[in-house]
Structure 1
Amino acid sequence: MKYDPQEDNCPLPHSPFRSCVVPRPIAWISSVDEQGNDNLAPFSQCGILTFDPPMVMFAANHYPTGQRKDSAVNAEKTGWFVWNMATEALKEAVNISAMIVPSDQSEFELAGLEKIKADLSDVPMVKDSPCHLECRYVSTTVIKGSSELGTVDLIIGEVIRVHINDEYIKSDGCVDIEKVRPIGRMGYLDYTVIDNTFSMEVPMSDEIRAIMSEIMAGSAKKNETTGVE
């Protein structure tokens, strides 16, 4: 089976496109507007851009009316947002926070979530999330779609502070992802849980490995001096 999404009607009853790029992380974005109203929403069109400096992005589709998502607007106007890690234990709250509600209604309250204040801004964070990335807003790129709903605000932020619950850090200093059990978005209405990981090292010469080690060590040292925890 093959088809051209720009020209043909999909021969399947449901579009398979979003099932071909999986699993996708969920950017559980918290923000606050200029009036002090809290906002929390999940986005599965997201990811990291680079590690030096650490930067993330999420894409927020417009509503059919052309109205923009609160998360995008709040990040632009206040200059900050927080990426909270979405986990299996919090999946019901993640789903509830995806509801479309008025801007002055807090998804934290709607989902029964306890919040804590970020260190560097007034943005609230999900207390029970094992990881938070405090992000300083960098830019917005509007990507025009074939419809208002297909149009997205691509929001980029630089990670200025990282919070990780010590309970989820292993003795070797690595994050215990299998204990965290983050959820990922599949296609359709489906999600998955990361509960099985394996390691592979890319083959490289000793010379290249030494260069890469030096680069990574320099990045870690830079984080120590810029307040990234």
Structure 2
Amino acid sequence: MKLATLTSADIGSMEKLARVQFVNSFPGPKPISLVGTIDEQGNTNLAPFSSVTHLGSDPAIIGLVSRPDLVDRHTLSNILATRSYTINHVHSGILEQAHQCSARYSRDVSEFSATGLTPHFEKNIKAPFVAEARFRYALELAEIIPIPTNNTVLIVGKVTLVQFEEKHLSSDGSLDLVGLDSLSSTALDTYFQPSNAVRLSYAKPEPNP
């Protein structure tokens, strides 16, 4: 098998969009979610993110990377202002609407209205959920960690509420992501549906799993 070899200089010389597509694919398929926020004037916002990651389970904390602040980042500014946001898994039934949320709408245009998705509010949570989402959870901002290398930030949030159909939760705590049809993505425009591959036992030093 002959492998192509690219250096950092080769990657840096690629056309911008091609470089973004290429490097964005390095981690492989990543969960794609819609992040719901609201500003202090009550304007709602919805944006797709594929940088959501688990940071800890006790307490339950989730990380979210926001891109460089070269343009007005509505999601980040809303989270800073209200300290509240929601993460909503994207499924195939809302994929096209979720993808359209990546368009650069002006601050006074809600992606909910622009795409036909429905905001859903819960008591004591400022940010809107996506009513059509099958798995969704609310977070409270814990801290913002700057990443100086490229001026991105890691948004760390504590989970305050989770909503889903009980049938998708196993007795051992695992979620049926296939049943939920929770999609993943690579690059800027490629999406994948989950499928069950294999599940192994908890790894221990013994030779056989």
Same fold at TM > 0.5: yes
Moved more, 13-22 or 129-138: 13-22
Please point out which of 83, 99, 102 is paired with 2:87: 83
Q: Secondary structure at the match of 1:47?
A: strand
Task: Sort the Cα spacing of 1:144 and 1:171 in 2 relative to 1 into closer, same or farther, 3 A.
Answer: closer
Match of 1:127 in 2: 131
Deviations 1:16-55 (A, max 9, x none): 3222211111231101001110010011122111111111
Deviations 1:118-148 (A, max 9, x none): 3332211111111111100011123235xxx
Distance apart, 1:76 and its partner CA = 1.2
Match of 2:166 in 1: 166
Task: Sort the Cα spacing of 1:117 and 1:28 in 2 relative to 1 into closer, same or farther, 3 A.
Answer: same
Q: Secondary structure at the match of 1:195?
A: coil
Question: Is residue 2:124 matched to residue 1:113?
Answer: no
Moved more, 96-105 or 114-123: 114-123
Match of 1:34 in 2: 40
Which residues in structure 2 correspond to 1:1-229 (within 5 Å)? 1-5=4-8, 7-9=9-11, 14-15=18-19, 16-62=22-68, 66-145=70-149, 150-166=150-166, 168-169=168-169, 174-187=174-187, 189-204=189-204
One-letter amino acid of the structure 2 residue matched with residue 3 of structure 1? L
Distance in 2, Cα, partners of 1:204 & 1:171: 22
Gaps of 5+ in 1: 207-229
Query: Is the 8 Å Cα contact of residues 182 and 193 (structure 1) preserved in structure 2?
Result: yes
Task: Sort the Cα spacing of 1:37 and 1:172 in 2 relative to 1 into closer, same or farther, 3 A.
Answer: same
Distance in 1, Cα, partners of 2:203 & 2:68: 43
Deviations 1:66-87 (A, max 9, x none): 2341111111110111011111
One-letter amino acid of the structure 1 residue matched with residue 6 of structure 2? Y
Distance in 2, Cα, partners of 1:185 & 1:45: 10
Distance in 1, Cα, partners of 2:170 & 2:146: 40
Task: Sort the Cα spacing of 1:9 and 1:164 in 2 relative to 1 into closer, same or farther, 3 A.
Answer: closer
Kindly report the root-mean-square deviation, in angstroms, between the aligned alpha carbons of the 2 structures: 2.4
Distance in 2, Cα, partners of 1:92 & 1:196: 24
Query: Is the 8 Å Cα contact of residues 61 and 157 (structure 2) preserved in structure 1?
Result: yes
Distance apart, 1:159 and its partner CA = 0.6
Distance apart, 1:174 and its partner CA = 4.6
Q: Secondary structure at the match of 1:110?
A: helix
Q: Secondary structure at the match of 1:84?
A: strand
Query: Is the 8 Å Cα contact of residues 113 and 126 (structure 1) preserved in structure 2?
Result: yes
